[in-house]
Structure 1
């Protein structure tokens, strides 16, 4: 509802948007192509050509070969019916993209002093140089922005009319001697007839310009920093790949960029390490670490590290008094994995603080500064299990938190430091080592020292500043807190085995299989698995009889369940079984590529035994083999390219627990609803899978 002005007053206000409008920066210019008016003056029609500077990535404009986009617009004011209709469509790229928009102002049917405003649009992208998804997001953003601005602009010009003393415009009334409402044309210039688009006009969702829009220049500058066209293209492509393969689990752009930067924007290398990290986070529930991890009291008392304000660039500042830390005592009291968990929680907190500081300082802050005070460092810190724990921590952090360290300030390095540096530096990425600044003695207090990076007001008291620092002073961990080797081993195992996921190896000729017994025919089987290495084909089978447990093979003296360093391999379907006779397929095969994440469910129609199978994906034309199963497995072990790895979780939900959603899962046939192009739109599939 807009202010109660007569329709021609709204038209006067609307016309003031042209030829340019300072309230719409992207609106560069416009020209009138044709203007017509009926003889009785009741209908006024204007056709324009509008020039827009679309807020799109520079790379996309360069590929498209345009700087501006042109739209045709037709405005029709009907004073008799008290309506204003605006119709527009794009001229630029009309053979690739069709945008059709309708806007209307009309008198409210129940209160003629009110004005109703309706707006709708349709978008049909046929092709756009491989950037269809990107163009769709840009168009959605621009349209959402115009929705938000439309009412504000008309109100602005109505208020401007009031300021000029135009507070009332009388309603139109026909003149007594006026002719019939035939239309006369006042040609401004020749123009082709407007295209009559036979497209459905569907309202778009009213979105606001949030970081989820992702690709506009303001967002990149505000949250990601300067990116070259090539870097921006890599981000778009990698994110698009993740959207297709990890639906619903897409990390933020800042996180994707860290992995791209860590591999100098090499797409394949960045994709590989990012997928490995996402799988690792999922397996060990790292996303929930800050909520689930409770730091043991011994860490609170003796771990000499903590967050302390921020540096001059707004980066969160972490202080570690390594020289005061009893590394041997902490390892003996907690174990290597507990220390690793604590360091991971510090990194997760660092990511959270970077996001907060980005909002506070209004510029991209994607990494933090670490200040390491080595005063007190001596040979006891080079205790072998302690160094081993340190190297393990560096390895995990380097793999999963690349480009999160903006700068490392090492202060008061003693003579023993070169020994420690020689041990750990080979495990630190070269790009990370370039961020190290090392100061011996009190050199950090002079030119080029600490004051160049940290404000004087936040320099800790133990470094000669006036700011009180809450980082624990450390000290020796009492030996009464030490634990036995067996206790530490059990603790380390429990920390990383407390996961709902299992790992399995899949070999050429040796699939991995999991059997689930179903009593209630209306149960729901759910699965969630990641393909960590290689390509696999996923099957779901049903059998009335139970597969036999792995048999002991007399030739190798062990069960046919093969244990490998990459996980277990279990085969349950007997080679003598015949598909269609002894067991049947209840889901269409699904080919899954390396790095993909798959979730799905299946409503069971019969009781019995359901077998989930992951089979090595053999490329078409590959030679098959008839080797015995164990021999085939052992032969496959010789060839690393014939080994795949999956991480999976499966669960059976009883019908009584799933009754509320059962309708959405039931189907007359099985099929992968979101993956299969052949899935019918008229039935709902029993399998819901997103990758």
Structure 2
């Protein structure tokens, strides 16, 4: 014992010791170092008022060569005062050690790992010894009574006067017992209220809810959310109080800025949404959760974006979520148990590559981001039915923005797999299944359909919003001349990667095709073209396919060529079979004489530049989904309880793709 100091009121005790330890080190190393034992200094600080114990250790032997520092702290758990938090940290800094620095480091780490296990055993051993002596509770320390004060309280004997337990001269093990057994009444919610409206909560979860609610009452100006809504953010943050508080504050600010609290009372759905938005609420599932049905495959997502814009569709989704919260409250009252989330059923029959129109995908991603941030833990289950083979491409694009906990709630069924055991009837009563899914219940939901182009927004509206937000950011434009196709080169290093494309034909008719070559194409050089006397090359497209190449020998077609008419929008994908170089080609379409294998002559190029009618224009966007991302999405789906494995096999083994226009 080096020193022992206690504050006047007995609230703080500081003890300092010099200790010795026999290190489990090779004898040769001990002889070189000239020591058999190591000495270190230990400082214990017990604060009875703050209810903490801090143990700090550093080595005295070889301190000029090696510095070891360790700290152990015992504190009261911030959410449950019946629990003790234990934290242990250590650092090792070896400056020099007779050329055995690496060995000394390994020995130190081994010793430290061993001491961690021994420390736990020692604590448990002496706790059992205390219990044998009948010491299971020590009253909390209180300050000494000050004479002459009114209303004095009962004085409790300071812990330091209690009989110490001799453990190699230590006097503070009973102090450790004092820290490990702390009892303090905590504010509690009414048990009936929890059971009726919130569900099962552990003491820690209940404490987090109380503290976050109190913090909101003290600091937040405005409408305080209900306990059920606060609890959603806590669950989303795994009951990390700081994390939940940050996300909840951001969401409350967002709700105030956008007046979301008044959305259901003030927003009127446009008639176009009522006619073509194929979705709506329908009864409830077996657990009493409100059931929302979305017939995504029947919706013209491109037409809705073109006609309504992103903001209107976002408002529609927000109103759905607000309505879902209200229905959860209603069902809680009806069923007499907590219902905090809903079930969503998505029917994908009719889904095709048109749904992968990139502005529509971008709108969807933004909506997902807003919903994930402001409506956490509101989706109890997502049932995806009749998923076609194009679904994995869509899933790969949107899944990165979906929280992992939310993804675990997805159940995906391909074809008619949902009709068998483990299908839809496990989650929805048979009499509630809609008629279009083979049930007997009539479902009052719009059937969707194609939005007439006459309802699209005007060119001025599109230019001010769509062109700025969507087209300029992700689309490129290209001109196609008669005899001078536009070609784009994509290098694929890994088979089973997915090439996706999305283009609009703004002027003229074009023929679209995809070729594959094992060797890299060499575009024609400018000086080569210059030899033919062309003065301006700005309008000439660089040719990827060499004129000397033979179709079927030097390169091959991997997709069937098809004609795209003016005004059409085309989306598609291709799962690559081999690595190499893929060429996306758009050619001018004029007469049947123009075949997929024909190559332009320079005379044709010169002629086409002089005839404005022999010009097409497209706006296009391409993207390559890496094999590991695509297959990773498939693995994520297959890990769910679903019937998607058949679809996975069919999709990833196929190397052709259907193209919808």
TM-score under structure 1 normalisation?
0.41
TM-score scaled by length of structure 2: 0.43
